[in-house]
Amino acid sequence: MTVTVKVSTPEETMTIGQQIAPLLAPKDIILLDGDLGAGKTTFTKGLAAGLGIKRNVKSPTFTIIREYQDGRIPLYHMDVYRLEDGSGDELGLEEYFNGDGVSVVEWSKFVADELPADYLRIAFKRLDDLGENQRELTFEPHGERFVAMVKQLQEKRHGK
């Protein structure tokens, strides 16, 4: 099962992140993949707001991991783009994945070997031919919990 959503402003991308936030529980894993500048961090800002996080969410490109503890549950925001080849195992990702918060991982293909079986992957695509702010988000849930989550998100978005 996959669900595709088209958006045409950064605010719309943030709103989807905000809508998913109440559905999240500790140990949930969300993978954000896709082009540079496609909106992965923008989505995470909305998700953080939805968790009640007041701190400004900055891209963890250089720090790899940023933790936010001031929301309903902790947010572990990771961007593994700059990880040296094969050093994923040194990050201690498993501790985050099994921790008390939700893990959001940008560029997850660089830690493909470290990922558990169940997660929600969201693939971001720029639709430059249609305009510079146009994006397509494809939701790919792995595991029953995330299939149910994507269904709930759809119901929310369609006002059911």
Ligand X SMILES: Nc1ncnc2c1ncn2[C@@H]1O[C@H](COP(=O)(O)OP(=O)(O)OP(=O)(O)O)[C@@H](O)[C@H]1O
| Residues forming the site for ligand X (CB under 6 A) | 7-10, 12-13, 36-42, 59, 61, 79, 106, 124, 133, 135
CA distance 158 to 160: 6
CA distance 20 to 83: 27
Minimum Å gap between C-beta 144 and ligand X is 28
CA distance 44 to 13: 9
Residues in 19-78 at the binding interface with Mg ion, rule: CB under 5 A? 40-41, 59
Residues in 105-144 at the binding interface with Mg ion, rule: CB under 5 A? 106
Question: What letter would DSSP give residue 60?
Answer: -
Question: What letter would DSSP give residue 131?
Answer: -
Residue closer to ligand X by CB (options 42, 73) is: 42
Minimum Å gap between C-beta 160 and Mg ion is 31
Residue closer to ligand X by CB (options 1, 112) is: 112
Minimum Å gap between C-beta 18 and ligand X is 13
* Distance from the Cα of residue 27 to its chain's centroid: 13
Q: Which does 42 bind (CB under 5 to 8 A by kind): ligand X, Mg ion, none?
A: ligand X
Alpha helices by DSSP H, listed for the chain, are 10-20, 40-50, 93-97, 144-157
Q: What residues does 95 pair with on adjacent strands? A: none
Size of the site for Mg ion (CB under 5 A): 4
* Residues making contact with Mg ion (CB under 5 A): 40-41, 59, 106
